[in-house]
Amino acid sequence: MQLARRPRPQALISLVPMIDVMLILLVFFMVTSSYLNLDMIPALRPVDEAVSSDGSAQRRLMIRLDATGTPHLRTQALSSETLDHLLRHSLALDPKTQLMILPSGAAPTQALISLMDLAASTGVKNMRVLQLEARP
Amino acid sequence: MKLKQNRRTVPTETIIALIDVVFFLLVFFMLIGRMDATAPFEVTPPQAQTGRDMPTGGITLAISQSGRLALDGDALPKSEISPALAKALAKDPALRLRINAHRSADLRHVLPHVSLAEALGFLDVVLVVTPETSAGVGK
């Protein structure tokens, strides 16, 4: 009599632990991560970028930021519209106009960034932030 | 004649699709996120529309509204910032310094660190901004 041999059952790799691990990793990343949309503004520029290549005299515009963050030209407070107009007018006269910003130490960071943002949007490429305060 | 009834096979729920979805979500979160040390205090970066995309790499100096400092997530007193920056720069002379200052922080807490970085020899110093008008808390 010939005995029929039972076919050996195929060994199965259980996927359940892998799913468990992946779910735990997924939940970990979703819970611990905070996603922020961050950009950057250069604070230091290489020297050759900031200085005009031909060394010609540049038009300079000095804007002072007071403690409340309001920009001033000489003694006159400037609104965003006035400042925008002023910067565009200066750039029309001299595209290499240098904007010098003299901020008060008590001015909020947002005020300086807003001013730099406005200047960049009008096309100012040459900006310098001056400081009167001592180093820490 | 009695017909033999076929045993109904129990339909197995395929879990392959679930694994695929979970795996894609996992890869998605791992790819779009950049792991960065968070500051031990609240920092909401200033808002700007003309900021450039933030490249990876570098160290982050976080400055709170009251002027507290943290370097790559570790709170440090003001006196230890300069040696820590110098040490980091010695390891990598092309190191980028990201200054992540709270939007309401006084500039007297922020600008001296730009000068300090310049004096130490940092060539690449950037201010962290956000294009969002109501940024989440970057804690």
Domain spans in chain A, listed from the N-terminal domain onward: 61-129
Select the residue of B33, B103, B132 nearest A109 (Cβ to Cβ): B103
Residues from chain B that touch A41, judged by Cβ atoms under 8 A, are: 48, 50-52, 126-127, 129
Please classify residue B104 by burial: count the beta carbons closer than 10 Å to its beta carbon, then call 0-12 exposed, 13-18 middle and 19+ buried.
Answer: middle
pLDDT value of position A54? 53
Range of lowest pLDDT (A7-11, A45-49, B53-57, B83-87): A45-49
CB contact under 8 A, B115 and A135: yes
Crossing angle for the helix pair A109-122 and A80-93, nearest 10 degrees?
40
Contact assessment for residue B118 and residue A50, using Cβ atoms and an 8 Å cutoff: no
- Give the span between the Cα atoms of A100 and A129, in whole angstroms: 6
Q: What is the CATH number of domain B36-139?
A: 3.30.420.270
Mean pLDDT of A125-130: 86
Q: What is the pLDDT of residue B139?
A: 41
Asked if B47's CB is within 8 angstroms of A26's CB, the reply is no
Per residue in A110-124, pLDDT (tens digit) is 999 999 999 999 988
Q: Which residues contact B60 (CB under 8 A, 6 or more apart)?
A: B36, B37, B39, B71, B72, B73, B98, B99, B100, B128
Taking CA–CA distances from B18, the nearest residue in chain A reads A19
The residue to which tokens 């979703």 are assigned: A30
Q: Extract the tokens encoding A122.
A: 């009008």
Confidence of residue A46 (pLDDT cuts 50, 70, 90): low
Question: What digits encode the pLDDT tens for the residues A62-102?
Answer: 999 999 989 999 888 888 899 999 999 998 988 888 899 99
Quick check: ipTM above 0.90? Answer: no
The CATH architecture of the domain made up of A61-129 is 2-Layer Sandwich (3.30)
Tokens standing for residue A52? 């005009």
Domain parsing of chain B, residue ranges: 36-139
Residue A17 has pLDDT above 90, yes or no: no
- B88 against A36, higher pLDDT: B88
Output the tens digit of pLDDT for each of chain B's 139 residues: 666 666 666 666 677 787 788 888 888 877 776 666 678 888 889 999 888 888 778 899 999 999 999 998 889 998 999 999 999 999 998 899 999 999 999 999 999 999 899 999 998 899 999 987 665 444 4
Quote the pLDDT of residue B5.
67
Tell me, what's the pLDDT at B88? Answer: 92
Six token digits for residue A132: 């009167």
Q: CA A129, CA A64: separation in Å to the nearest integer?
A: 10
Which of A33, A39, A46 has the CB atom closest to B123's CB atom? A46
